[in-house]
Structure 1
């Protein structure tokens, strides 16, 4: 008997998906179908692939309210947040088309009758492992460029967002994607493990945690033919200088830390305040703004700014991190609080690490968490702030608030992150830019605009098509005469 699982709404425990996990035979069949469809899809004219992708964007636009409600119901996103995700998913189509032409289009350099040509061939079958926090946009950010590049897809959505995943598959088919080009498998970790083991898989594209990325990297040991692209978590710092108003600091720091209930890999986890005549006012403003944030559920009479975590289990795991921070010498400033309405409705919390030892600060930098929990720390000067910001094996996002142009250039060069902003939230990202991390936050394959880069292989050719320049009439050994 197949194993059954459910996707349950974090808002009211409504069952939104109820079905069997994909069996090993079903997984193998899905991958085999994608492999059989690969040649036909590769040979489909690019113009036709682009049109199907644009049909998909049109479908999203026409059914925006429907998918927004489903995202809100299944993963607990506040409606404005879900709608913004849909907007990003729609925008991804034209951005990917532009990136394909700009970064992976066929190039020809001619010199007389000799042509130097670079073509890009699809990888084959790409296994896309999606997250729950952006269940439409993040897997789409890998699926869209992979399809445009001529790959076929096996998609496993998060088991906490399977209903959205199924909706996406149906939307692509209604957009005209041929049968066989995209297959879905469903379930938990065991399903992903079995799919990764398939010898028919040519690429694994993951958005997930450091632990998941490391596990897949180990699983693929000895298989250099399988491309692995990892978009992982972060322990992201905000550095605050004195040349910025406290009210602005409060808005940017709290938005960075608590938007989407802290369930973005780019959310701020640490805020570092350079000690000066304004730093205590900055800290007080952040604390006051945090305490004023409205925590609640979609549909509340007062529109909430912070919604629920994905599950009660996620709240318990976040509480363990909060306790670990206290055990590492932090002091509670805005203490842990859970709303009485639901176990997963967690209020934003702040702890102060200013008095922690160097060893304790290093331990804090090692942690990865997913929720509305912020560590603050006072540091002596800008150099100390940069060193403290970089005191983590992660390297996804970082932000400098205030400062000068030279300070920001120093920050970009020294902080060790793939997304480095100035006077913007850590969560600020543009679809026209790469998005990805260094260190434990990825494996040097940025997504965003550059996702197209890991969806194909370059093939180089030297071409002499004319008879007079054919190999038969040349003396290739002339170079040694």
Structure 2
């Protein structure tokens, strides 16, 4: 019997979309078609492969007015923020611009009588298992460079954002991409694990939870497929004594609460030098209080619901535990009419008097809550920043670039920001350490992770 994947909207709990999951025979057919298509696709000149990707980008832009409200219905992001096209455009065009250099042959001609060089060749079938929180941008991070590099792509999107995969498939169809070079498929968890364990996939990129990453790695065991994982995060910020407080507050509030806090690199904990602590907390609480929690289809809404009620329940649980242990809640959530137990609608919360014995300061929240701690110096801040099982990004707020670099060298993280946060720069590698995962996306390193090196050693004089 065919299983159905249902997308339940956080707006009102209705089933917004449902699709049948592929059975084993349909999956086998899709993989076989992808394998056949890859042989021809790899022989298409690079500039033509890039052209298809840029045409698909234009197609996505043409659909953006339809996509924005779809995102609101699927995962709750307010329409006022306009979707994800800006980030998709920036990342795609950057990777297109560096593709020729990143993928070019490397000559080794210092030995007379020999021709020696390295090529970057495609891996084959790349499977992207994409998340719901930034459903277009996270998928594009791998899809576009994978296709440019000569791979074919099979996308399995999160159930919460089923329609995103269909939009991407439509964009590539509008671009005239050869058949089966990109395929969007709908699978159950069990079906996904079976496909991964079959050994027919050459590379997998997964963005999601730590538990999900472990399941993916286990499913792939023994297949020798390469794997990229972007998993959990508990990204810290440190506000030094010399920081511009107003600027720090404005940016860190946005970094903590944009997308209802459902950002891989969102700010989840803040450490503030004792000399600036009171002023920072007062300003941070005041600005946070100005959010409008409501229906994401309303242009006035600045904070939409979380994607699922169970995600909001976890954040409520973390907050309640912190309060039981002595934390102080600085936001009167009763002033947010839509904030209701048992629903995905959750008011923002700012906690002080927190410590690292509280879950909210060490375990991923992935929601609209942030804890703020006072620290006496850089050394204490660094100790707390590293007291986490995760390491995706960390931000330092200071006017001293040298100090930021020195502190950054000691932070266990994939990226260090100074005076900004919550941003993926396509020119810099996107990677993490510890339980945040492994592998890398973006920059020339992203291309290297989607290809394999092949060596040529010719003796031309004998």
TM-score, scaled relative to structure 1 = 0.89
Structure 1 pair 216–299 and aligned structure 2 pair: CA distance change class (3 A): closer
Q: How does 1:76-225 map to 2 (within 5 A)?
A: 76-83=76-83, 85-111=84-110, 112-223=112-223, 225=224
> How far apart, CA to CA, are the structure 2 residues paired with 1:60 and 1:183?
16
Structure 1 pair 292–377 and aligned structure 2 pair: CA distance change class (3 A): same
Structure 1 pair 318–26 and aligned structure 2 pair: CA distance change class (3 A): farther
> How far apart, CA to CA, are the structure 2 residues paired with 1:147 and 1:62?
21
1:476 — aligned with what? none
Native 8 Å contact 1:99 1:450 kept in 2: no
Measured after TM superposition, the shift of residue 171 of structure 1 is 1.2
2:434 — aligned with what? 439
**3-state SS, counterpart of residue 29 of structure 1:** helix
Q: Which of 292, 295, 313 lines up with 2:293 in the alignment?
A: 295
Structure 1 pair 300–437 and aligned structure 2 pair: CA distance change class (3 A): same
1:323 equivalent in alignment to 2:310: no
Q: Which of 440, 448, 456 lines up with 1:461 in the alignment?
A: 456
Measured after TM superposition, the shift of residue 433 of structure 1 is 1.7
Total equivalences in the alignment: 458
Q: Which of 398, 422, 425 lines up with 1:427 in the alignment?
A: 422
**3-state SS, counterpart of residue 233 of structure 1:** coil
2:266 — aligned with what? 267
1:280 — aligned with what? 278
Measured after TM superposition, the shift of residue 329 of structure 1 is 5.0
**3-state SS, counterpart of residue 314 of structure 1:** helix
1:25 — aligned with what? 25
Measured after TM superposition, the shift of residue 122 of structure 1 is 0.8
Q: How does 1:220-369 map to 2 (within 5 A)?
A: 220-223=220-223, 225-276=224-275, 278-300=276-298, 303-326=300-323, 330-334=327-331, 339-340=337-338, 343-354=343-354, 356=355, 360=357, 366-369=362-365
Native 8 Å contact 2:199 2:220 kept in 1: no
> How far apart, CA to CA, are the structure 2 residues paired with 1:59 and 1:176?
11
**3-state SS, counterpart of residue 241 of structure 2:** coil
Measured after TM superposition, the shift of residue 94 of structure 1 is 2.1
Greater Cα offset, 14-23 or 250-259 = 14-23
RMSD (CA atoms): 2.1
Q: Could you list the runs of 5+ residues in structure 1 that have no partner in the other structure?
A: 474-481
Measured after TM superposition, the shift of residue 249 of structure 1 is 2.7
Native 8 Å contact 2:378 2:407 kept in 1: no
> How far apart, CA to CA, are the structure 2 residues paired with 1:3 and 1:218?
24
Native 8 Å contact 2:348 2:368 kept in 1: yes
> How far apart, CA to CA, are the structure 1 residues paired with 2:370 and 2:232?
15
> How far apart, CA to CA, are the structure 1 residues paired with 2:32 and 2:264?
33
> How far apart, CA to CA, are the structure 2 residues paired with 1:31 and 1:72?
32
Greater Cα offset, 162-171 or 63-72 = 63-72
TM-score, scaled relative to structure 2 = 0.93
Q: Could you list the runs of 5+ residues in structure 2 that have no partner in the other structure?
A: none
Task: Provide Cα deviations, 1:69-115, integer angstroms capped at 9, x if missing partner.
Answer: 322332221224343x1122123322122332222222223244422
Native 8 Å contact 2:327 2:352 kept in 1: yes
Greater Cα offset, 13-22 or 310-319 = 13-22
**3-state SS, counterpart of residue 257 of structure 1:** helix
**3-state SS, counterpart of residue 36 of structure 1:** helix
> How far apart, CA to CA, are the structure 1 residues paired with 2:154 and 2:441?
21
1:410 equivalent in alignment to 2:406: yes
Structure 1 pair 88–450 and aligned structure 2 pair: CA distance change class (3 A): farther
Measured after TM superposition, the shift of residue 297 of structure 1 is 2.3
> How far apart, CA to CA, are the structure 2 residues paired with 1:443 and 1:461?
29
